[in-house]
Structure formats: structure tokens, C-alpha cells
A and B are shown apart, each in its own frame.
Chain A
Amino acid sequence: MSTILIVDDEKNLLRLYENEFRLDGYSVITANSGVEALNKLKLSPVNLVILDIRMPELDGVETLKNIMELPSRPPIILNSAYTSYKDNFLTWAAAAYVVKSSDLTELKAKAKELLETRPQN
């Protein structure tokens, strides 16, 4: 079973995503901030990270950079309300960029695609 780490400073969103992905049969870990996400990544293996960009302290882009330096380097879906970060080349390292929407179809599709193409550790 694939494990997804969801990082967002919005507690409601974390809860929504956790519900939805659990129902879809994934194992879900959540983190309220970039720092918490990095800590959790060190504790347990994760197959996919869904990462918000606008967060206090360590933002998504910084967190992304840190994750890329981890030996596990799980694929990352950037999930933001903003489209403008697409222009920031630092975000290009992410496997996908999905703009936040109440319709989770695109996000789920991307997640599924990435988990299927990527070999499990």
C-alpha cells in the first residue's frame, strides 16, 4: 500500500485530502508545515508527497528543495491555489503541478499516475 504525505497549513484541507485518499485506499500521513513534513519523511518511507506552496516559515518551494536532497526523493505533486508558481523554475523539479480545486479528480489522477509509474521502494 502506497503512503502519501500530504503537507498543507490548512487543517480543513488536510482533513479533506486525508479522507479522500484513505477512501481511495492509500495510507496517508499529514503534516501541518514544511518542517513537520521533513521530520516525518525522515521517520517513515513515503511514496508520494502532495505539497502546498504558500505556508508560513518553510514554504512549499523550500520544502521541495529539501525533499529533493533526501536519499529517498519521493515524487512531489505541488498543490497550490496559485498558478503563478508555475513560472518559478524551482517548482519545475516537482513531478506535477496541480492547481487546487474542489474537484479532486485531477489531483487523484496525477497521484495515481505517479504511484503507478514509479517503482515502489
Chain B
Amino acid sequence: MGLSTGIASLDELLEGIYWGETLVFHGGDWSAFVPFVEALGALLETGLMPCCSFCFAESQLTRLQSLGPFKQRAVLAASDLQSAQQQLLDLISGDVPATYLFSDLGNAFPDERNVVALFQFFARRISETRSASYVFLQKGSVSNASIAQIVDGSSLFFDFWRVDRRVLFQPIKAAGRYDPKLFMPYELSGSGIRPASELDGESYTGELEEKSREFLRLYTEKRQVENELQRKVFELSLINSLTASLLSTMNLEEILYRILVGVTAKEGLGFNRAFLLLVNEREQLLEGKMAIGPSSLEEAIRIWTELSDRHLSYQDLLAAFDSGWPEHDAHVNRLVRQIRVPLKERSHVLIDLLMQTQPEVIGPGGTRSHPEGLKILDLLGVERSAAAPLVYRKRQLGLLMADNLISHKPISEDDLRILETFANYASAAIEHSRLYEEVRLRIKESERHIVELEAMQNRLMRSKKLSDLGELASKMAHELRTPLVSIGGFANGLLKRHGPDSPDYEELKIVVDEVLRLEAIIRNVLAYVSPGIPRSQPTDLCDLSDKMLRLMQGVFEARRIEVSTQYSNAVPRVLVDPDQIRLVLTAIINNAMESMADGGCLTVAIHNGQGFVRLSIADTGAGISEQDLGRVFDAFFTTKSLGSGLGLNIASQIIANHKGSIYAESQVGKGSTFFINFPAGTHL
């Protein structure tokens, strides 16, 4: 029952085992040996093989029924190498050709080096005795390196494996003389050994077909996964380089430019043109900001030729921002700036898109093709455009639009998806730049505040110093008064008693006059230093001004100063202390006269303002330099050789006490104008 075929094929396969040779079987699994050993047993039973056969095994092999012809002897239970070798010598001695079948040596000797040593020894003895032997090794129990060492010139090694329920084997190493077909895979079965490829035609074909279908399916899946992975890798590296470029600046304009370059560059998303529209929160508008792209095929060809001629890379394009861009894309920039859509126009296609979370294609075949959308496309002069909302943390920042005007390449789902990814990064970059700008402005503002605060503090300190000085002056003036009264009083008494005929009269008169002069000075100083609380009453400023100017008529004439007045009709009365205001006007007019040493014009104007009455006094004098203008109201500030430098300071104090304001404008060589604003109304 098929034994002969089995034997024949085994015989054929091995072309007969030559005496003096060792076959080493290298198996993956013990069960793989069984069919082979069974076939071998059958072969030995035929008596074609040398009469004496031994099986040295103590594993499962010894329990196999088919090993009947073998003289079984367990020798490999020896614990050490030397006794194992001795036992082998005992076995192999004598002239009787015999076949030896050994179970797994690797299993019996845990130490790989022992297995190798045993093999070498064994193989030598076998070749001397011209017997044949079969040795099984479990795959993995002896390393390939060790197998290589065992080469003795005539050994045959096999690889065994199982597929489903079939056992296959293939010679993996053989010395010299074997037929090439030896190295084909073979199948071992109860019916014998045959080349695996000749395995039962029909079912094999079926199986093969199924296998190949499955393989094809797996292969397709694998390709898909690979493609997906490759695209992801590409996208990631693209996004990475684009993002790096976005993050390399905080300048919003430059970021916008970089976004557009990213969308249009060949190394980037590769669209023909790109447009950026941003939300203007102040005006509640979506407005076109910036665009990149050729306006016509001719321009496109010119640009692209230029790019490839000059080998301009993405990085070069980015650098172009500094050098003369955006004149280059004037046309598209003009187009995009025409887009201004109020945010409240919810039905407008751009506003609608802005509120979306995903990019869409507008135009025929796209998700939006209503007339509104087409109007925008008309403006941009393109059939179809992709639009991705720029959203950052649920805040709509704008729209990123891209089209293929020149190439007419359709916008694919993939294009939209990568546009969306890029839009996300772009949004973050825009928002970051905005935040950065905001922080920068805040810092600038704080710095300005600090400077203002410092200036204010300086002013305060100066005014404190001045007020301390004023207090000191006031105290001194008062204290001086009493002794002056004594001096002058007694001198006066003496003067009266002695009469004009006294030889001391002249000198006493000098004392009296000088004391009077000192007292006058003190009165002036005190008036300047502490003008006192205004005793306000409803006052007609025009009347007050007219009366003063009339009183001073003589002085004006002497100084060749022409005086004119410009009063509004019906200037309301204001609540002021007329005495103090007279002092203020005197100070300003004195100042004006000083500046008009060679004569000039003095104009007093009084006008109604919103909530105030403004009085101004203009002269055509020398004017005040910008530097001095800020200090004219400071105490003791004077550019005149005469004068106390207190006049304008006291004037500003008085006006402050009246809750009014005073300031001056001046042009050197043309003259100065002093303005006083009085609060309107006659009620406190």
C-alpha cells in the first residue's frame, strides 16, 4: 500500500544514501520527523538497506511502531560527553554496515558545544566504518553557526516545517554531488515524499488560487496603508516646514505672505493662486487682505519659468517678502481688496463659509454653487475655488481661498483636507501674531504711562518745591513787615519832629522812602505768592477787559502798541474774582508788551465755547521757543532781564483756583497767544 512509492521517492530524493555519510535533519517540530521516520522504517523493512540498523534514542522516536527494524538502544542518556563518545564507539565498532538513527542530539545535550563535538566525532567514525546515519536536530536547539561548524564534507542538512497539516522539508546544505532538484521543497506524507510543487493538482490549484486571491487582497491593503502612510508623512513634513516658516516671524503681514506662499508653492500645497480674507472685528467686516498668484496664463508661464530658471525654492520665495513684494502680485491683490462683506450678511456665501468648520469648494460641482458664490468667482475670474475657514479656538479669523486658475486642475478631497490642516496651523499663527502685537502695544502703552507718570511726578515735585519756596517767601515777607514798620515809623516820627530844616532831614527822608519801597516790594511778592481764594461774582469779561485796556491806553501808546478786541455777541457772564482776573490779564499783557519791544499788535478776543468762555490775548512779538513754552507758567521762569518771573505763574494759579485752564501757543518771530478757558455759568 504505497510503501514502495514512498521508498522510491525517498530513494530518488536522496539518490541513495551512500555509505559513510551522515544525514542530519533539522526540524522545526518533532511531529515533522514522524512521517519521515515512518517512511524510513518502511524502507528498512524492505531489506534494501543494510541489515543491521540501530536507533539510539530515548525520546518519542523509540515509541514509534515503524521503528521496528531498528535495534533500539538508548545511549544518549549519558550525562557527560566522554561517556557518550565511549558508547558511540562501542556501537560503531565492527565491520558490519549499519544504519544509525539518532534522536535529537540537541535535546539530549543542552550544551551546544557538546553537540558539535559529538557530531564531529561521530561523523568521523561513520565515514571510517562506511555505515550510514540519520541525525535529527530540533530547529533552534543548535545554532546555525554551530551547524556550519559541523560541516564534514558529506553531511546533508534539512529544514523541516509545517503548513497546516502538511510537513514540508527542504535540504538546506549538502556537499557537492547532489542534483539541483534536491534543493526544492518536498512534502512528506504517509504516501511518501514528493516535490511540494507537484502536490495534488486540482486542490492545490484551488488552494493556490485562494491563496493568491488572499495575497492580492492583503497586498492591496498593504499598498493602501503604505500610500496613506506615505501621504501622511509627506503632509506632516510639508506642514512641518510650512509651520516652521509661519512661526519664524511675528509680523502679521509676513505671516499672511508665508501662508499664501505655502498654499501656492510647488513644494507646498501647489495651488495656482491663494487669497486671504480676514475678519475686521472693529468694523465687523470680512475683508480681503492679501493674495498671491498670476493674473493670466502668460504671467503664470513667465513666473514659473523664472522660478525654475533661477531655481527658486520655497525658502527663496519666503525671503522674497522683504525684496519688493507685493508689486509682483498687484493684480490679485487688487482683486482681493475689493472683497468687503459685513459679517451680519449671514446669507452671503463667504460669511456662510466663514462660519463652517470645514473647507468646501464653491462653483459648479462644488457644495456651493448658488449665485452669490458665483459672483465672488466672477470677481476672482475663476470657475471653482476652495475656501477654508480660519478658525482659532472657535473664533472666526478669516477665510483662506485657493484655486487653480491656470492649470484647471480639479480640487480633490485630498487637496481640501490638506488645505484644512494647513488652515488650522495658519489660524494659530495669525492669532499668535495678533496676540503678540496686542501684548507689544500694551507694553508700549505701559511704557508711555510710566514716562507720563515720571513726568507728572517731576512736575509734582517741582510744584511742591515751588510751593515750599512760596511759603518761605510769604513767611519772610510777613516777618520783614513788622521791623520795617518800626524803622519807617520811627524815621517818619523823627522827620516830622525835626522838620525840613534839620541837618538830618535828607537822610531820614531816604530811610522813610526806602522803607516804603521795601514795603511795596513785599506787597507785590505777597500778591504773587498767595493770591488767596477767589471772591467770585458774576462778571462781564468784555467789560472787564475793556476797562483794563482803557486804563493802560497810555502805556500802549508809549510803546507803539495797537490794541484791538474781538468779542462774540452776547458773551455770558462768568463767575470770577474780577481783582484776580485783572491780575492775570495784567501779567499776560505785561508779558506781551515785553515781547513787543519795537511795538506791535495786541488782540484780546473773547468767545463762547461749549461749556466755557474763552479769552485769548495775542501779540505779534518775539514768540516763545518750543522748549520755553512748556515752562512759561513755572514760577521764577523768565527770559527777561527785568521781572520777577512770577507773573504768569501767579496767573496760572489764579486760573486753576477758578477751575479754568490756561495755555499758550507760540511761533518764534511771529508772536504768542495765551488762551484762558473759564467754566461757563454763574453758579458755583
Contacts and interface: CB of A to CB of B under 8 A. Distances in A.
Given A13-B485, A103-B488, A19 B516 contact: no
A102 B493 contact: no
A42 B486 CA distance: 29
Contact of B532 (A13, A19, A87, A100): A87
B586 interface: no
A102 B482 contact: no
A55 to B, nearest CB: 12
A16 B481 contact: no
Interface string B484-499: 1111111111000000
Given A81-B478, A81-B482, A83-B526, A20 B493 contact: yes
A10 B480 CA distance: 13
A103 B485 CA distance: 8
B516 A103 contact: yes
A19 B489 CA distance: 10
Give the interface centre of A23, A87, A101 by most chain B CB atoms within 10 Å. A101
B533 A102 contact: no
Given A16-B490, A16-B493, A87-B532, A100 B482 contact: yes
Contacts of A100: 481-482, 485
Given A102-B484, A102-B515, A16 B532 contact: no
Interface residues of A, number: 18
Contacts of A12: 483, 486
B478 A102 contact: no
A104 interface: yes
A89 B335 CA distance: 79
Nearest to A86: B532
A13 B482 contact: yes
A13 B483 CA distance: 8
Contacts of B487: 102
B512 to A, nearest CB: 7
Interface in B282-334: none
Contact of A20 (B478, B489, B515, B530): B489
Interface in A60-113: 81-84, 87, 100-104
Per DSSP, chain B at the interface is helix
A65 to B, nearest CB: 23
A101 B532 contact: no
Contacts of A104: 489, 492
Given A81-B479, A102-B515, A103-B519, 4 more contacts: A13-B482, A16-B486, A84-B530, A103-B492
Interface in B98-130: none
Nearest to A9: B482
11 contacts: A10-B486, A13-B482, A19-B493, A81-B482, A83-B526, A87-B532, A102-B484, A102-B487, A102-B492, A103-B488, A103-B519
Nearest to B477: A81
A77 to B, nearest CB: 14
Contacts of B515: 102
B478 A87 contact: no
Nearest to A10: B482
Interface string B404-436: 000000000000000000000000000000000
A81 to B, nearest CB: 4
Contacts of B482: 10, 13, 81, 100
B488 A102 contact: yes
A27 to B, nearest CB: 18
Contacts of B519: 101-103
| Interface range on chain B (Cβ under 8 Å from partner) | 20 to 34
Given A10-B482, A83-B526, A102 B489 contact: yes
Interface in B494-532: 512, 515-516, 519, 526, 530, 532
Nearest to B488: A102
Contacts of A17: 489
A81 B518 CA distance: 14
Contacts of B479: 81
A51 to B, nearest CB: 14
Nearest to A54: B478
Nearest to B497: A23
Contacts of B486: 10, 12-13, 16, 102
Interface in A6-59: 10, 12-13, 16-17, 19-20, 23
A102 B516 contact: yes
B526 A102 contact: no
Contacts of B532: 83-84, 87
A100 B518 CA distance: 13
Contacts of B484: 102
Give the interface centre of B486, B492, B526, B533 by most chain A CB atoms within 10 Å. B486
Contacts of B483: 12
A81 B491 CA distance: 19
Give the interface centre of A23, A87, A100, A102 by most chain B CB atoms within 10 Å. A102
A20 B486 CA distance: 12
Contacts of A84: 530, 532
Contact of B485 (A19, A82, A87, A102): A102
A77 B156 CA distance: 148
Contacts of B526: 83
Contacts of A10: 482, 486
Interface string B458-490: 000000000000000000001101111111111
A101 B532 CA distance: 20
Contacts of B490: 16
Nearest to B515: A102
Nearest to A23: B493
